[in-house]
């Protein structure tokens, strides 16, 4: 197994976290995404961060007034390190768990679930489609009705909409943020972060407003609406 294919494998992450204790944030850090998190994730509800790694994102949320942020990761190496690091922060909890089997959590436990790079990793591995479907079904189950799954990814609508639509009956909105949002870029972004991008099923509406292959990360806001 070579390259990014290993991102779907627990041993890869255990090795990586043993060698690189971090902290490291994939794609974006909390301050750049805070406006969108504040918009969709109420501070009063318990929040779940799936595949949290050693990122400082959840610490940023707690510093910003979130009171109950639960983090899971399949790598026990990183979870033990984070439990040690944050032993004096009761608002931040860390548990070793596979996002494809969150049976320790009851149905409807969380108001929001944040995924930054975890679905992307699972999509790199073997049998990726099957694993991704299991993950999305578990996310749907542990969300409350009207809860939101906030997916931060490099995957454009062409590569993510079908998967999301086929898994569960989400109501989906899309936002985008410039990659490596630097201070001068965020003064003049390609698209305003808190304004949803027009979205149709095959993603072609996004190309019309942003052009082809824009240099952005995509933020899918998937709401669980039981009809």
Ligand X SMILES: C[S@@+](CC[C@H](N)C(=O)[O-])C[C@H]1O[C@@H](n2cnc3c(N)ncnc32)[C@H](O)[C@@H]1O
Residues binding ligand X (CB under 6 A): 13, 25-26, 51-53, 55, 72-75, 98-100, 116-118, 121-122
Contacts of 157 by beta carbon, 8 Å cutoff, 6+ apart: 174, 199, 202, 203, 206, 218
Please state the closest distance from residue 106 (CB atom) to ligand X, in A.
18
In the complex with ligand X, which residue's Cβ is closer, 10 or 199? 10
For the chain, report the end-to-end CA distance as a whole number of angstroms.
43
Is the separation of the CB atoms in 49 and 70 below 8 Å? yes
DSSP annotation of 213 reads S
Please state the closest distance from residue 62 (CB atom) to ligand X, in A.
16
Question: If you count them, how many residues does the chain have?
Answer: 227
Please state the closest distance from residue 71 (CB atom) to ligand X, in A.
9
CA nearest neighbour of 48 among 138, 134, 110, 122: 110
84 prior amide bond cis, ω within 30: no
Sheet with 47-50: strands ordered across: 92-96, 69-73, 47-50, 110-116, 143-153, 216-224, 170-178
Please state the closest distance from residue 101 (CB atom) to ligand X, in A.
9
In the complex with ligand X, which residue's Cβ is closer, 59 or 73? 73
Closest residue to ligand X: CB criterion: 51
In the complex with ligand X, which residue's Cβ is closer, 29 or 207? 29
Please state the closest distance from residue 53 (CB atom) to ligand X, in A.
3
Please state the closest distance from residue 9 (CB atom) to ligand X, in A.
8
What residues form DSSP beta bridges with 54?
A: none
In the complex with ligand X, which residue's Cβ is closer, 179 or 205? 179
How far, rounded to the nearest angstrom, does the alpha carbon of residue 140 sit from its chain's CA centroid? 14
In the complex with ligand X, which residue's Cβ is closer, 34 or 199? 34
In the complex with ligand X, which residue's Cβ is closer, 17 or 40? 17
């Amino acid at each position: 197994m070579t390259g990014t294919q290993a991102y779907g494998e627990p041993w890869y992450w255990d090795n990586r976290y043993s060698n690189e204790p971090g902290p490291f944030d994939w794609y974006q850090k909390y301050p750049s995404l805070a406006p969108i998190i504040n918009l969709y994730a109420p501070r009063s509800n318990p929040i779940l961060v799936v595949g949290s790694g050693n990122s400082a994102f959840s610490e940023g949320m707690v510093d910003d007034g979130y009171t109950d942020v639960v983090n899971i990761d399949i790598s026990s190496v990183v979870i033990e390190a984070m439990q040690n690091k944050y032993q004096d922060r009761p608002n931040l909890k860390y548990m070793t768990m596979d996002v494809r089997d969150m049976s320790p959590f009851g149905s409807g436990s969380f108001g929001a679930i944040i995924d930054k790079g975890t679905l992307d990793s699972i999509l790199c591995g073997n049998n990726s489609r099957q694993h991704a479907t299991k993950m999305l079904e578990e996310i749907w189950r542990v969300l409350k009705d009207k809860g939101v799954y906030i997916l931060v990814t490099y995957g454009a609508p062409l590569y993510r909409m079908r998967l999301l639509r086929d898994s569960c009956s989400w109501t989906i909105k899309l936002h985008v943020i410039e990659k490596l949002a630097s201070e001068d870029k965020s003064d003049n972004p390609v698209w305003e972060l808190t304004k949803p991008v027009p979205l149709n099923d095959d993603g072609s509406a996004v190309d019309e407003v942003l052009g082809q292959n824009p240099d952005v990360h995509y933020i899918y806001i998937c709401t669980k609406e039981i009809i």
